[in-house]
Structure 1
């Protein structure tokens, strides 16, 4: 079994070679029934959209091509075992938490957790203990987690079963996972890493170390975000003796579809193969192009590019992520994002009141970098003429809130709608999630404060979109009824 093998793709192609007759699902029958534009665009890809039939293995009990592909992926990403995920990194985060903690047990989680982690806490009926990442004041975003913060939270909650951390963050900032793993393991806990944005780290020495290299027990990666898998295709990597593998496999069956897409599975296999055979060279050209572009952007007086030199705490930063402070243009990030999208046909990953975020991958080179740099720098002449105005800049995105109830307790309770400005003192009955990046500002069971209400209003007025809430306009929010406040 060599790295040039692509087991799942080969199994599918072998099946198609024999002109098979389809008397099984899916209903479009190997693409024949795909209608109109979708059928035209998918073309031959529809023939690959198969199901668990002889020769194609079974994701939930792999013995053939899928098992071989997962083994090859484990070797490529530095894991002992790798599991393919067709329900995105969400499924991996859910499975990690359900494996690590039982109902009522404590797990240490960062305040900048993704909403899927909170959903995992609800399903596991776990008791979260929140700790806080550093806040990059200049950009108003979550930075890495200080080693001392981990040491303090672990010492204060020795009974916790695991610590979960987000590294890299959405903005590409990486914590010192190696030192954190040592602290967590000395306390007898598992280290779980939401590494959704770091699938590419394993394939170039200029990139930060992976969670597996650093000693994590489990790590989830969105292979589709920074490598060549199709959207929703991800991986869960496992290493070390602390993970109950049988328990993990059972939990994966709870959160994964019983009808996994073979297009997604094949794309994971192909993405791994591509990185092992060509990845280093492709990463090298992308990193070099982005480095040159960053140098050009550094000469721009009205733009501020986040990198390791201006990130307090000695945190590493993924060079393929550009967090660009745009307040020097006298515009909000949302305004810059919209301008680039409408006027330049350039769509960035996200915006917030202060910044825009651009994601580069192994596919990008000088042309792609140059196009973005020119579009950004073209905004600068107007900035010189712009009238100075205050851009709303929230100072603290991730604040400590009083929790009256555990998330799963609040999740089960009835709620009522109240105006946002009248929610102070009420227990939240829903998550409030600026999206992207998908990080909850408040979770069910926590108490609304005047400070948080003002912060949400600031984001709302700056054009930020919200998920998790019934009223996406953020005029009203769901809270627990008044008589439940003191529960």
Structure 2
């Protein structure tokens, strides 16, 4: 990587120059950079002065030939990719672009069942046929890990005509599969490897972090720069290595769906974040990883608390845990007599700490480049105090974890189910019906069930459990307990 070139921030530099020219604007946006407008007074003059429309000087995201092209080339170099595309629709859009670029209708794509809802939406949009594989499950922590190499081999043997495989690197909980071997195996069969690195935009910048998909030779990956690289929310990037998937197909797919009014605030923030990590990332994450290791040692000594650390790694691939991102704090709390959902709520309401997400037994805290010794100490101190308040006061919280990892049976392909006639019924009446919508628990947005899958007693029980825990259960109907199933309503 050319560090001298990585000092450049072409979009941010051009935007800074452009806003200093005192142009009289008769183009959009409508605030015209007027410091007396309501939006400037509410959000600050700097915000609106950087909020620009595409011009010759600022280039155009849908057809970059100037500063955006230069920024994308620097981004590709920083991530070890042949090509990079800046995205302003988040990694949700990156995921959709990858799948639509790799799969035509009816093409098979191998997918772990713990994917984000954006993957299921992409399956519906593309018409591809999902071949679901189960990730390995840690029933102690109650989380899904990565996928085993052997599982991938067996699936390819059963479906040698698969066009692509979709891998999460790392998972929401920081676990990485043996991506190097998976890529090697898939490429022997001319299967494109698509990687969701939404939570891994920081991976290329320190050797103690899990390997980055592009540097291992994956065909495409998408990374949420806003999640772990420090850019503004909704800014993301799509990466591509030449080979199986044609770059023109990718560009065409992007332009099919991405806005033509790209936010230069987002683009400039990616430009700055990339340069910062390329130049300083190794030092930044060396310091952070040291702080994380020290904090996890403290947490491991807290009664009723356990935390995943580097000793979780299983290089023999018995449990789908080839590597682990130590910036993720997966903290098991059920021995306190509380569920993860209760701890999530307590920390926000009583300690003013916002965690990333909760599950039945664990909560997840994500450490990023903006964290300090003080913020990490605040997190650890809160758990030390929780232990004093709750440990030993009541029985550990227990629930049948296996119920939450049932692999639903596919009856109808997701796209066919999405476009089929549906009726709306109470969840209590849904046993044995075929689901007509995606039902997600958010965060992180992993579907409990998707269109075309069979509704079982365990699905209904899980749905009710998440409702009782005051989780955000996302489905089409705003009324709780009401879902769509296939088949027209006989009363209509």
TM-score range, shorter chain: over 0.9
Question: Is 1:318 aligned to residue 325 of structure 2?
Answer: yes
Confirm or deny that 1:78 pairs with 2:80: yes
Q: Residue 422 of structure 1: CA displacement?
A: 1.7
Displacement, 1:395? 1.9
Please state whether the residue corresponding to 2:294 is helix, strand or coil. helix
The answer for the alignment partner of 1:18 in structure 2 is: 21
More displaced, 55-64 or 375-384?
375-384
Deviations 1:346-381 (A, max 9, x none): 111111221111000122221111111001110112
Name the counterpart of 1:269: 271
Helix, strand or coil for the counterpart of 2:85?
strand
RMSD: 1.7
Range with bigger deviation, 303-312 or 44-53: 303-312
Contact 1:31 1:44 in 2 (8 A): no
Contact in 2 for aligned 1:203/1:279 (Cα 8 Å)? yes
Partner in structure 2 of residue 122 of structure 1:
124
**Residues 362-373 of structure 1: pairs in structure 2 closer than 5 A:** 362-373=369-380
Q: Deviations over 1:397-444 (max 9, x none)?
A: 332222221111111122212221221110101111111111112110
Deviation, structure 1 residue 294: 0.6
Q: Partners in 2 of 1:25 and 1:33 — Cα distance? A: 17
The answer to whether residue 357 in structure 2 is matched with residue 350 in structure 1 is yes
Instruction: Find the counterpart in structure 2 of residue 478 from structure 1.
Output: 484
Check the 8 A contact 1:144/1:169 in 2, yes or no.
yes
TM-score by length of 1: 0.96
- Deviation string 1:158-200 (CA, Å, 9 cap, x unpaired) is 1111011112111111111000001111111100001100000
Q: Deviations over 1:66-105 (max 9, x none)?
A: 0000000000011010000000001111111111011111
Number of the residue aligned with 1:413: 420
Give the structure 2 partner of residue 436 of structure 1.
Answer: 443
1:109-157 deviation digits (Å, cap 9, x = unpaired):
1101111111111111111111110011111111011010111111111
What CA deviation, in whole Å up to 9, does each residue of 1:209-262 have, x standing for no partner? 101122210000000000111000000011131111111100001121111101
TM score, norm. by length of structure 2 = 0.95
Does structure 2 retain, via aligned residues, the 8 Å contact 1:415–1:480?
yes
How big is each residue's C-alpha offset from its partner over 1:420-470, in whole Å with a ceiling of 9 and x where there is no partner?
122111010111111111111211011101122112222222222211341
Secondary structure of 1:67 counterpart: helix
Is 2:103 aligned against 1:101?
Answer: yes
Cα 1:470–1:394 change in 2 (3 A) is farther
SS in structure 2 at match of 1:379: helix
C-alpha change, 1:379 and 1:390, in structure 2 (3 Å) is closer
For the residues of structure 2 that align with 1:134 and 1:469, how far apart are their CA atoms?
30
Match of 2:31 in 1: 28
Residues 1-400 of structure 1: matches in 2 within 5 Å? Answer: 2-32=5-35, 34-35=37-38, 39-310=41-312, 312-388=319-395, 390-400=397-407
Say if 1:34 and 1:353 are closer, same or farther in 2 by CA, change over 3 A.
farther
Q: Is the 8 A contact 1:434 1:464 kept in 2?
A: yes
Contact 2:91 2:237 in 1 (8 A): yes
**1:390 deviation in Å?**
4.2
How far did residue 34 of structure 1 move?
A: 4.3
Q: 1:94·1:255 contact (CA, 8 Å) conserved in 2?
A: no
Aligned mates of 1:169, 1:421 — CA distance in 2: 32
**Bigger mean CA offset, 273-282 vs 192-201:** 273-282
Distance in 2, Cα, partners of 1:71 & 1:17: 26
Partner of 2:316: none
Q: Distance between the aligned counterparts of 1:158 and 1:172, measured in 2?
A: 30
- 1:2 deviates by 1.2
CA distance in 2, matches of 1:263, 1:421: 47
Structure 1 unmatched ranges of 5 or more:
none
Displacement of 1:40 after TM fit? 3.8
| 3-state SS, counterpart of residue 6 of structure 2 | coil
Contact 2:170 2:197 in 1 (8 A): yes
SS in structure 2 opposite 1:378?
helix
Q: Secondary structure at the match of 1:71?
A: helix
